[in-house]
Amino acid sequence: MSRPAIAHIRLDAFRHNYRVAKQCHGGKALAVIKANAYGHGAVHCAKSIEGEADGFAVACLEEALQLREAGISEPILLLEGFFEANELPDIDAIDCLIVVHAKWQLEILLSAKLAQPLQVWLKMDSGMHRVGLSPSEYVQAFKRLNGHKNVAKLVLMSHFANADNLSSDHTLQQIEVFQNTIHELKQAINVETSLANSAAILGWQQAMRLSDTKTRWSRPGIMLYGANPIVQSSQVHVLKPVMQLTSKIISIRNIKKGDSIGYGSIFTAERDTTVGVVACGYADGYPRSAITGTPMAVDGKMTRLIGCVSMDMLFVDLTDIPAASIGSQVELWGNQVAANDVAKAAGTIAYELFCNVKRVHFQYFDASNI
């Protein structure tokens, strides 16, 4: 019998969430499937919306090559562009779109000898201050790239720092910086733009509709996997979880009030407690930082994590689930247990939970094909 920790991936839910993203935003959408689709499986996710997606976004050339080798023909954007000049021939050969976010990339691109011109997404630092050209640098870069023999098309883009915080006005400030800069570029009239990540799609729809839908691209990421970065968003109920992480109970212990369990003895029973040992731990991607009280479900009934998460095992409170037994299914997150709730209890975010899942068996389902 193989180890029972399984990541069930619902591809119909991924497709549903992509459609929600497009409907909310109104324009075209690049499905962000970098980091192996946030741990869900990039090729499987891409195939599930093949022919429907306007394109995909990945971090780097290696991720793009994986998709092309799998037969994905839709546009693929390299969100970090290229790291060295010698990548450009391969980028050219597999027909990728590139982000240019730094002056050194700009200079290399302008002097490169390419078989065909590339589509360039020129990134502005409108206030996040991670990567991107400052507004003054941006204007000059646009003028140099516009009409250059190595550039087939220009898309103007930026990225938000605080779109997941609806009480912050920083997103509106960034939009204003972006638009004011573009207005300086007379040649940029009707040029395509891309601002909206998942948080902006869900939380800042009015602000996102300032340009024509025909020239507006979104870049949905975490929402494609069913996790909403904005708790206050009215769209939270329309997303469907894509990953259900489950395992099974492999041992049951009865401990007395005052007894402690696990490494560090950090949990001491306040009453006689029935404890289930679950075959899943931090080596599988479940966060070691999760605290007692983190929600989970056993045979469909809500309960809680107790004690310290080990490398291969963790503890679940079965005191109020007397019917639980060896082999009972435990949902760590997914359909009943929101990944956001687990992440909050662990002091992290759903992005990290998903990306860290490993060693478990991945099983892919598509309800529309059943």
Residues sharing a CB contact under 8 Å with residue 84, sequence separation 6 or more, in sequence order: none
Whether 109 is in a domain gets the answer yes
CATH code of the domain in which 334 resides: 2.40.37.10
Give dist(CA 256, CA 63) in Å, integer.
52
Q: Which domain holds residue 40?
A: 11-228
Dist CA 339 CA 228 (whole Å): 10
Residues 293 and 178 in one domain: no
> Both 221 and 273 in a single domain?
no
Nearest alpha carbon to residue 47 among 91, 14, 90, 25? 14
* 274 exposure class (CB count in 10 Å sphere: 0-12, 13-18, 19+): middle
User: In the prediction, which pLDDT does 190 show?
Assistant: 74
Tell me if 201 is assigned to some domain: yes
Assess if residue 2 is contained within a domain: no
Boundary of a domain, candidates 189, 205, 228: 228
CA atoms within 13 A on the CB side of 352: 14
Asked whether residue 86 falls in the same domain as residue 139, the answer is yes
Give the pLDDT score at 237. Answer: 63
Same domain, 133 and 186: yes
Q: Are 223 and 314 in a shared domain? A: no
**Residue segments in the chain with a per-residue pLDDT below the cut of 50:** none
Q: How far is residue 12's CA from residue 337's CA, in Å, rounded to a whole number? A: 19
Residue-level pLDDT at 215? 80
Q: Supply the pLDDT for residue 209.
A: 65
What pLDDT digit, counting tens, does each position of 115-163 carry? 999 999 999 999 999 999 999 999 999 999 999 999 999 999 999 999 9
Residue 234 lies in a domain: no
pTM: 0.95
Question: Is residue 236 domain-resident?
Answer: no
Q: What positions carry a catalytic annotation?
A: 34, 263
- Residue 143: inside a domain: yes
Residue 174 sits in the same domain as residue 317: no
Q: What is the per-residue pLDDT for 185?
A: 84
Q: Which of 162, 197, 228 is the last residue of a domain?
A: 228
Produce one character per residue of 280-301: b if its CB has 16 or more CB atoms within 10 Å, e if not.
bbbbbbbbeebbeebbbbbbee
d(CA 171, CA 150) in angstroms, rounded, equals 33
Are 348 and 249 part of one and the same domain? Answer: yes
Q: Taking phi first (over 0 means left), then psi (-120 to 50 degrees means alpha), and beta for anything else, what does residue 226 get?
A: left
Q: Dump pLDDT digits (tens) for 75-126.
A: 999 999 999 999 999 999 999 999 999 999 999 999 999 999 999 999 999 9
User: Which of 228, 254, 286 is at the close of a domain?
Assistant: 228
Nearest-angstrom CA–CA distance, 139 and 151 = 16
Judge whether 6 lies within some domain. Answer: no
Residue 197 near residue 156 (C-beta atoms within 8 A): no
* Letter string b/e over residues 133-150, b meaning 16 or more CB atoms within 10 A of that residue's CB: bbbeebbebbeebeeeeb
CATH number at residue 27: 3.20.20.10
> Is the Cβ–Cβ distance between 106 and 88 less than 8 Å?
no
Q: Determine, yes or no, domain membership for 27.
A: yes
Single-letter amino acid, residue 127: G
Residues 342 and 222 both lie in one domain: no
Q: 369 — alpha (psi -120 to 50), left (phi > 0) or beta?
A: alpha
Q: Which pLDDT value is given to residue 58?
A: 98
* Count of the separate structural domains present in the chain: 2
Find the farthest-apart pair of alpha carbons in the chain and give their distance in angstroms, rounded. 76
**Based on the domain organization, do 133 and 249 belong to the same domain?**
no
Other Cβ atoms less than 10 A from the Cβ of 238: the count is 16
Tell me the sheet residues that pair with 333: 245
Same domain (yes/no): 181, 258: no
Do 178 and 272 belong together in one domain?
Answer: no
Q: How many CA atoms within 13 Å lie on the side-chain side of 263? A: 9
Neighbours of 360 (CB within 10 A): 22
Q: Are residues 224 and 341 in the same domain?
A: no
